[in-house]
């Protein structure tokens, strides 16, 4: 059973950066393909990017390329998502999400996300 | 990237059947997944590989696929099924996309 616990809410000024963490337990981070999804208030889900095990690289949604960096610290089993040059439209709940070992055997890659963090609210306001 | 289009809202009476469609050009080539999201909560996977149900998901949730459209069906809708529902798929490069989302209201 995977558990994903995210860092707390953040308030940032426009132009600043934010770094959200996602601590993994129950698995090691090396076993997982971590992704990040965000949801603006009252809006839908938006995939930001994640690790593609088929090419061993992190891929980013075109919308966020150049502004987002996703990293992983395997010593602490913690994944990070850093978003820079923040603007008011980046106000959203940010989720980390991944696929568990069992689901990854039931369906081919690209896998769905059957484990999610609790979400981190990032507010961008002057 | 491509788009997945869903109806914004679906209304249904308790015990009736709700059907939520998701349309996208890549759906004949890639599997679709469905998520349920209740207010203030993270999404929950309810259907994977177009038609399969994860363990722990009630049997009243089912999926189907035909051409460029996939459908989530909730049979015998219960009050607790009131939520937002999102389809998801990916292209061959591993880029994911979510549908526009559908709010299911139980009358």
Which residues does residue B96 pair with via DSSP β-bridges, in sequence order?
B90
pLDDT at B22 over 90: yes
Within 8 A of A118 by CB-CB distance, chain B residues are 42
Within 8 A of A61 by CB-CB distance, chain B residues are 1, 95-96
Query: Per-residue pLDDT averaged across A102-107, rounded?
Result: 86
CA distance B7 to A106: 29
CA distance B67 to B23: 9
Within 8 A of A35 by CB-CB distance, chain B residues are 96
Mean of all residue pLDDT scores within chain A: 95
Q: Where are the beta strands (DSSP E) in chain A?
A: 3-6, 10-12, 18-25, 35-39, 45-52, 57-60, 68-73, 78-83, 92-98, 115-116, 120-124
pLDDT tens-digit series, residues A3-35: 999 999 999 999 999 999 999 999 999 999 999
Is A117 exposed, middle or buried (CB count within 10 Å of its CB: 0-12, 13-18, 19+)?
Answer: buried
Best of A38, A53, A110, A120 to disrupt the B interface by mutation (most B CBs within 10 Å)? Answer: A110
Q: What percent of chain B has pLDDT over 90?
A: 89
Peptide bond into A40 cis (omega under 30): no
What pLDDT is stored for residue B92 in this prediction? Answer: 75
**CB-based contact A106 B31, cutoff 8 Å:** no
CA distance A85 to A82: 10
Best of A41, A108, A112, A116 to disrupt the B interface by mutation (most B CBs within 10 Å)? Answer: A112
Residue pair A86/A17 in contact (Cβ under 8 Å)? The answer is yes
Query: Per-residue pLDDT averaged across A32-50, rounded?
Result: 97
CA distance A46 to A92: 10
Query: Per-residue pLDDT averaged across B13-28, rounded?
Result: 95
Query: Per-residue pLDDT averaged across A30-51, rounded?
Result: 96
Q: What percent of chain A has pLDDT over 90?
A: 83
Size of interface A-B (CB pairs under 8 A): 69
- Interface list for chain B against chain A, based on CB atoms closer than 8 Å: 1, 30-31, 33, 35, 37, 42-45, 48-49, 52, 54, 84, 86, 88, 90, 93-101
Query: Per-residue pLDDT averaged across B33-51, rounded?
Result: 97
pLDDT at A100 over 90: no
pLDDT at A41 over 90: yes
Look up residue B52 and give its DSSP letter.
Answer: B
Burial B77-98 (b: 16+ CB within 10 A, else e): beeebbbbbbbbbbeeebbbbb
Instruction: Provide the pLDDT confidence category of residue B26 given band limits of 50, 70 and 90.
Output: confident
What pLDDT is stored for residue B94 in this prediction? Answer: 81
Q: What percent of chain B has pLDDT over 70?
A: 99
pLDDT at A56 over 80: yes
What pLDDT is stored for residue B1 in this prediction? Answer: 63
Burial B29-43 (b: 16+ CB within 10 A, else e): ebbbbbbbbeeeebb
pLDDT at B68 over 90: yes
Report which of residues A117 and A108 the model is more confident about: A117
Residue pair B65/B15 in contact (Cβ under 8 Å)? The answer is no
Token digits for A93? 């709940």
Query: Which residue of chain B has the CA closest to A107?
Result: B49
Nearest to A29 by CA among A64, A69, A65, A80: A80
pLDDT at A55 over 80: yes
Among A51-55, A60-64, A90-94, B32-36, where is mean pLDDT lowest? A51-55
Nearest to B12 by CA among B62, B70, B81: B81
Among A1-15, A85-99, A106-120, where is mean pLDDT lowest? A106-120
Which residues, in sequence order, are CB contacts of B7 under 8 Å at separation 6+?
B20, B21, B102
């Amino acid at each position: 059973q995977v558990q994903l616990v995210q860092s707390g809410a953040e308030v940032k000024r426009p132009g600043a950066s934010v770094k959200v963490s996602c601590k993994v337990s129950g698995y090691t981070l090396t076993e997982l393909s971590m992704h990040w999804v965000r949801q603006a208030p009252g809006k839908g889900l938006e995939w930001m990017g994640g690790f593609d095990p088929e090419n061993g690289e992190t891929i980013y949604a075109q919308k966020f390329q150049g502004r987002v960096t996703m990293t992983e610290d395997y010593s602490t089993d913690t994944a990070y998502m850093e978003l820079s040059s923040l603007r008011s439209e980046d106000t959203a709940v940010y989720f980390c999400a991944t696929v568990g070992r069992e689901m990854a055997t039931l369906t081919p890659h690209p896998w769905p996300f059957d484990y999610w963090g609790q979400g981190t609210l990032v507010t961008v306001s002057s | 990237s491509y788009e997945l289009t869903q109806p914004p809202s679906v209304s249904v009476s308790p015990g009736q059947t709700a059907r939520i469609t998701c349309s996208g050009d890549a759906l004949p080539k890639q599997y679709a997944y469905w998520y349920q999201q209740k207010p203030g909560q993270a999404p929950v996977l309810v259907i994977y590989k177009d038609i399969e149900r994860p363990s722990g998901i009630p049997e009243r949730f089912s999926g189907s696929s035909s051409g460029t459209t996939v459908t989530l069906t909730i049979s015998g809708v219960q009050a607790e099924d009131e939520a937002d529902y999102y389809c998801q798929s990916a292209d061959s490069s591993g880029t994911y996309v979510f549908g526009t989302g559908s709010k299911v209201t139980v009358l």
